[in-house]
A and B are shown apart, each in its own frame.
Chain A
Amino acid sequence: MADPWIDAYNFAIEIAKKAGAEIRKASVDEIKISTKSSTVDLVTATDVRVEKIIIDGLKEKFGQNVYCFIGEESVSKKGACILTDEPTWIIDPVDGTTNFVHGFPFVAVSIAFVVKKELEFGVVYSCFEDKLYKGRKGQGAYCDEESIQVSDNKDINKSVIISEFGTDRTPSKVKKICSTMERILKIPVHGIRGTGTAATNMCMVACGAVEAFFEIGIHCWDVAAGAVIVQEAGGVVCDVNGGPFDLMSRRMMCANHVDIANRVIKEIEIFPSERDDGQE
């Protein structure tokens, strides 16, 4: 049976690369920074422009009113992101804006496609590394043309975990984030790392460079594509409390194996964050 979404998947790959090229071009010019919810929550004209390139490109290819969109820079400004059963693109045009502003080499375009609230495929283009990660439901995960798999290490004491500080500096949240890192280091693990972009971090799990990544405070557009890629690479994606992954919950845990996920989850100090869909 033919894949109904194959054209959408192939176009996502093409538009991600085009968006990435635009980001690379913009990075050599001076970058004017604005802030969103706080002085460390950054956005630039490039974020906005690249999202427009992606959404306009998709509308031109498939028609103006065929699909729904949830994009960090456009739809998110209007309030809650409602995910319906309709085929929906979930887009982060520049994941790792702080990195982009500084020239720190991890910046990704993240594009996911959801139908009836099920993730169908995800594309993450790490544009300074020029690595395109992709995963189509049921068809495996790839970095460029090479098949990728999660790490086969099930020993937490030999694991590397990614943990990020995020952009919320509310003291009570910072305290919990730091306390969680302390607890993980004490397990002990081989180390804690961070690239500064959720989408790239998920690809690091998918290709086996680290065993797990979790974060509270991310948005659906940061993790939707990575979730497909991790699962298709043989990994697990769930909530930070061990329950099923909830795309709108602003939190996510992914790992190479359920045992590693469960062990890390024991150490996570959860704090509340407002859902992307505005629900309680």
Chain B
Amino acid sequence: MSDPWQECMDFCVEVTKRAGQMIRDALEKDITIMEKSSPVDLVTETDQKVEQLIISSIREKYPTHSFIGEESVAAGAPSILTDAPTWIIDPVDGTTNFVHRFPFVAVSIGFTVQKVIEFGIVYSCVEDKMYTARKGKGAFCNGVPIKVSGQQDITKSMVLTEMNFKKDVERFNTMLANVKTILSIPVHGVRSPGSAALNMCLVACGSADAYYHMGIHCWDMAGGAAVVTEAGGVIMDISGGPFDLMSRRLIIASSRAIADRLVKEIREFPVGRDDQ
């Protein structure tokens, strides 16, 4: 039986390559920055143009499909996930990195049908690394199979997370307290590369052993979730329950043992939901 979504995935890879080229071209020029919810929540013209390119290309070929795109949602489009074939898009994951030319910037696309992620694509466009994963068929970086490190011992692990300024004092303090707790387990190291989608791919290919984050969005997670799962990793909610794409939070890890330990150590704070 042929795969009904393989053609969508192959098409998506081509569109993603073009999106990545657009980002690389933009990096050669001056970048005008705008702010969204706060002075540290940035967006640029490139974010908007790349999303338009992706959505218009896909819509032309698949006119009945639905979209949840970061910049469209920012402009007022709904972000409710239905059973319809849906493309969940972050055109420039790591906008702060993009603005500063810090080399972790990605295009991230996840494709869901009946709310299940069928495939994910994350393109690290400065590094020219294309991560792809089709449900049940493994994960790849530039066509080479990848898998998680399999590390079970938290004291030998490399953990990724991001630290952002938050206006809410309690959330800010909890975020910082979590980092200090994890560092002191001790773990080998904590790193902050600055792109959620790429953090997920770094765990998927074994370069890191865990990543956790509260406050990201479905478009940051959808592509990477497929890559991590197909690379043999664990993905779950911060509470230890099942991963919820619209919950704005996640833990991913190279093993259940590491994920469970992080669940124990991390204190939650409310982040709302994407579908509220």
Contact = CB atoms under 8 A, between A and B. Distances in A.
Given A40-B189, A182-B176, A191-B194, A104 B102 contact: no
Contacts of A209: 100-103
Interface stretch (B5-13, B205-213, B214-222, B235-243): B205-213
Given A104-B191, A188-B165, A169 B186 contact: yes
Nearest to B205: A103
A63 interface: no
Contacts of B179: 178
A182 B223 CA distance: 31
Interface in B83-102: 96-97, 99-102
A220 B208 CA distance: 28
Contacts of B103: 129, 209
A243 interface: no
A140 to B, nearest CB: 19
Given A169-B186, A188-B165, A193 B192 contact: yes
Nearest to A182: B176
Nearest to B42: A190
B102 A192 contact: no
Contact of A171 (B42, B176, B184, B187): B184
Contacts of A151: 100
Size band of the B side of the interface? 35 or more
10 contacts: A39-B186, A40-B188, A102-B209, A105-B207, A167-B189, A185-B164, A191-B40, A192-B163, A193-B97, A195-B191
A103 B201 CA distance: 13
A217 interface: no
Contacts of B188: 40, 42, 98, 101-102
A8 interface: no
B208 A40 contact: no
Contacts of B191: 104, 194-196
A157 B184 contact: no
A257 B183 CA distance: 31
A98 B194 contact: no
B202 interface: yes
A185 B39 contact: no
Nearest to B167: A188
Given A104-B207, A190-B42, A194-B192, 9 more contacts: A102-B188, A102-B206, A103-B207, A165-B190, A167-B189, A174-B183, A189-B165, A191-B96, A196-B191
A104 B158 contact: yes
Nearest to B169: A186
Contacts of B209: 102
B180 interface: yes
B16 interface: no
B149 interface: yes
Nearest to B206: A103
Nearest to B177: A178
B204 to A, nearest CB: 12
Contacts of B205: 103
Interface string B39-83: 110100000000000000000000000000000000000000000
A53 interface: no
Given A102-B209, A190-B96, A174 B180 contact: yes
A180 to B, nearest CB: 11
B165 A174 contact: no
A264 to B, nearest CB: 15
Interface string A192-220: 11111000000010011110000000000
